[in-house]
Amino acid sequence: MPQKPSWKIDVKSLSTKEIVKLLRQLDESEYKEVLLDLRRELVQHARDEGASDETIIRTLTRGVPRGLGLDGVAKQWAAVLGLTVKEFKRIANVK
């Protein structure tokens, strides 16, 4: 049985814009490891710029409907930020 293709991206060499572009292109793809690496690097870029977890979460959830939309974003990003889904959603819902 043929293996599905695999590839690695040197995420450390990418700019923030390049990471966001790749995340959008690969969203919902089968490349879960690549997506996780891209998310981690994007969070690191934000933290290097002085962004708090609260700021990152508010940016990620801007325009996302509460409920199922927020659940999806929380599941994708909570672990990358070192949070549980519940903690992520609590921070996202603070006005």
Decide if pLDDT at 5 tops 60.
no
Domain coordinates of the chain in residue numbers? 13-93
User: What does the pLDDT look like over 56-95, one tens digit per residue?
Assistant: 999 999 888 877 789 999 999 999 999 999 999 999 987 5
The packing angle between helices 53-61 and 68-77, to 10°, is 140
pTM of the shown model = 0.77
User: What does the pLDDT look like over 23-43, one tens digit per residue?
Assistant: 888 877 787 888 889 999 999
Per-residue pLDDT, 16: 82
Per-residue pLDDT, 4: 59
Burial 61-77 (b: 16+ CB within 10 A, else e): beeeeeeeebeebbebb
